[in-house]
Amino acid sequence: MVHLSTSQLRKSGLQAVVFDMDGVIIDSHPLHRVAWRQFLGKLGKDVDDVTLDFVLDGRTRKDILFHFLGPLTDEQLEEHGHHKDELLSNLDDEVQPIPGVVEFLDGLSEAGIAMALATSASRGRALGTLKELGLAQYFQAIVTADEVVAGKPDPHIYSLAAERLRVAPGNLLAVEDAVSGVRSALAAGMRCAGIAKAARAELLLAAGANPVVPDFRGLSFEQLEAVFQ
C-alpha cells in the first residue's frame, strides 16, 4: 500500500488523482481483444493483434466502430455498440482489478485525496463494472464517453473531471495506460503517470507520462512527489 500523509501531499502539490478505467483500474484489455475480434469476425473482418491495438488506445466505442467499419448512422452505431457490449458482457466474470490498485486507492482515500474516473467506456458499463468489483465508492466523480463530444486525446474528458472535483488541473495527477490518454491529460494541464509493461511503457514515456510502472505495486509516494517538484 502507498502510505501518503496529508502534510506530504500538500507539500507535493498533489490534491487529487484521476484514473482511466480499462487497463488502469481493471485488467480488461485481453477481454476487449476477444470481444472486438468476435464482433468484427461476425461482420467478416479478420483482424490480427497489431490491428486490434487500436482498441486499447483509449478510444471511444464510436471511434473504434468508425475506424473499422467506416461512416455509420446513429442507428447502426447503437446496434453495433449493443452487440459488441453483449459479447463483452459474456466475458465480464473474468475481469479483475489491476494488481495493487485496491491498496493504492485505500492509501489515497486514507490521506484524504479526492479521486475521479475519466474513461472512454460508456457510463452504464463503467458504473456496472465498478459496482460489481466493489470500487465505485472510491470515486467522487465519474466522467464517461457519453458526456463528451470528442474522445481522447481531446482534453475535454479530463478537464471535466477536474471541474467536477473542483481542483485545478495543475494539482491533479492522471493515471493512464494509453498514449491517447496521456496526451489528453497533459493537454488538460495535468501531470500523468503511466501503467504499462515492456514496449507500451516506452510509448507512454515518449508521450510524456512519468513515472511509468507495470502496476500499482511499483508506484511509491516518492515517485508521486517527484512528479510535482
Q: What are the residue numbers of the active site?
A: 20
As given in the structure block, the three cell numbers for residue 13 are 502539490
Q: How far apart are CA 60 and CA 65, in angstroms?
A: 9
Helix axes 29-42, 74-89, angle to 10 degrees: 130
Helix (H) or strand (E) holding 132: helix 123-132
Provide, for the chain, the percentages of residues in helix, strand and coil under a 3-state DSSP scheme, each rounded to the nearest 5: 55, 10, 35
Q: How far apart are CA 22 and CA 7, in angstroms?
A: 31
Q: How far apart are CA 163 and CA 181, in angstroms?
A: 18
